[in-house]
Every structure is written in C-alpha cells, then in structure tokens.
Amino acid sequence: MKTWNWVGQYAIAIVLSLLLGALLASLPLFQESAIADTHVRASHVVQFMGYGGALLLFWLGGRRATHQLQAKAERSAALSYIITPLITLIVLSAGYEVLLQLIGPFLGKTERNIYNWAFVVGTVITALWLTLAWLRHSEPLLESLRALGQIGHRVSPQHLVACPQCNKSWTVEAIFCARCGARLAK
C-alpha cells in the first residue's frame, strides 16, 4: 500500500506544526512581544500559525484521500464523497477558536457577533452538505459493508449481476456497485 504512505508524512507534519506552535508560544520572547498597542502578542501569532497550519494540513490530507479513493475505483470509493464535507466541518469547528485567538482583540461587540454568525452559518451549511452527501451516497457505502460480510461465500453465476460502469460482479440483491457507486441494472 505504498500509495497511502503520504498519510504518515501528513500526520507527522500536523504534529510538528502543533508542537512548534505551542513551544514557540511558550517562550518569554514571544509572550512579551506585542503588536503595536494591541493585546496581540507574538505568542498568539505563532499559535495561530501552528494550529492553523495543522488544520490546513488536515484538510489538504483529507482532500488528497478523497481524490485517491475516487481514482482507485475500489470498494471504498463511495466513502470519498463524505470525506470532504466531514473534514471541512471539523476544520471549521476547530478554526473558530484558532482564528479568534488572533483577531479577537480587534473585534468589538458588533464585529464579534458578526464573526460568530459567520461561523454559525458556515457550520450549518457544512453540516447540511455532509448530510446530503451521506443521503446521496449512503446506499453504495452500505452495499460496501454488506459486500464485506459476503467475502468468502460462494455465489453461483446466475445470482450475480455485473456493474455497467466497472464490470465488477455483485450479488443480485445489490443495488449499487460497492466499487464505483454506479446503480446496478436489474
């Protein structure tokens, strides 16, 4: 599975980003240095860069996994449709606090309310996106799980149907191809 080696690289880069952000932020030089006459310290900036960088790497890794699953046309290809909305929801939820740490001191009451509502709307839209992606692609995902349960069972050829898109054989009970997600002809 050499094609998935990049996951370890991304994981290490995420951990390094988090550790370096936290480590640099704890240094006295970064804690004492402020931006002009604001309450924003250099420690806030490096924490933002570390945590924000980790979130960006997490999102980019999820997108890479999505593209790799879609290109492979394997059993888990149907899963690729929910990865992007799921990682976007996670990043958006965590990103609220990360960004607020940097821009919070510049926000008045009205601006803070606008900021909060922007994240509320973004989170709701992303949650709807995830829900719709699940509804649209849940049958192939569930078919994949059913197919995993049938591994090792012998099925006679008259009880099989071929996928019109990828030509993989499935039992006649299958509605969708667990490999590519296409609807099977009955």
Per-residue pLDDT of the chain (186 residues; tens, 9 = 90+): 457 889 999 999 999 999 999 999 999 999 999 988 878 899 999 999 999 999 999 999 999 999 888 876 655 677 888 899 999 999 999 999 999 988 988 899 999 999 999 999 999 999 999 999 888 877 766 766 666 555 555 545 556 788 888 888 777 777 777 777 788 876
Rg (C-alpha) for the chain, rounded Å, is: 23
Q: Mark 66-98 as b/e (b = at least 16 C-beta within 10 Å).
A: bebbbeebbbbbbbbbbbbbbbbbebbeebbeb
Whole-prediction pTM: 0.73
Assess contact for 102 and 44: CB atoms under 8 A.
yes
Q: What is the pLDDT of residue 64?
A: 93
Beta strand 160-162 with 169-171: parallel, antiparallel or unpaired? antiparallel
Q: What is the pLDDT of residue 45?
A: 93
Taking the C-alpha atoms of residue 97 and residue 6, their distance in angstroms, rounded to an integer, is 28
**Structural tokens at position 71:** 């290109």
State the amino acid at position 141 in one-letter form. L
By the 10 Å C-beta count (0-12 exposed, 13-18 middle, 19+ buried), 42 is classed as: middle
Taking the C-alpha atoms of residue 34 and residue 46, their distance in angstroms, rounded to an integer, is 12
Taking the C-alpha atoms of residue 34 and residue 82, their distance in angstroms, rounded to an integer, is 42
Taking the C-alpha atoms of residue 70 and residue 40, their distance in angstroms, rounded to an integer, is 43
**Structural tokens at position 117:** 């509502």
Q: Which residues contact 158 (CB under 8 A, 6 or more apart)?
A: none
Q: What is the pLDDT of residue 85?
A: 95
Q: What is the pLDDT of residue 33?
A: 92
